[in-house]
Amino acid sequence: MEASADVSASSETGNESRISHLAQVREGARLGENCIIGRGAYIGPGVHLGNNCKLQSYARVYGSTGLRVYGPAVLGECVFIGPAVVLTKDVFPRAINADGTLKTEDDWDKVGVTIKEGAAIGARAVCIAPVTIGAWATVAAGAVVTRDVPDFALVAGVPAKRIGWVGQAGLPLRGDNGWWVCPHTGSRYEEHDGGLREVAD
Is 160 part of any domain?
no
Is 170 part of any domain?
no
Is 177 part of any domain?
no
Sheet-wide strand order for 161-165: 18-19, 36-37, 54-55, 80-81, 120-121, 138-139, 153-156, 161-165
Q: pLDDT tens-digit profile of 144-175?
A: 999 999 999 999 999 999 999 999 999 999 99
Is 91 part of any domain?
yes
Is 190 part of any domain?
no
Which residue range(s) make up the domain with 126?
A: 1-95+107-133
- pLDDT at residue 70 in the model: 43
Is 148 part of any domain?
no
Q: What's the structural domain count of the chain?
A: 1
Is 161 part of any domain?
no
Is 9 part of any domain?
yes
Q: Is the Cβ–Cβ distance between 111 and 70 less than 8 Å?
A: yes
118: domain CATH number is 2.160.10.10
Does this model's pTM top 0.85? My answer is: yes
Rounded Cα–Cα distance for residues 153 and 142 (Å): 16
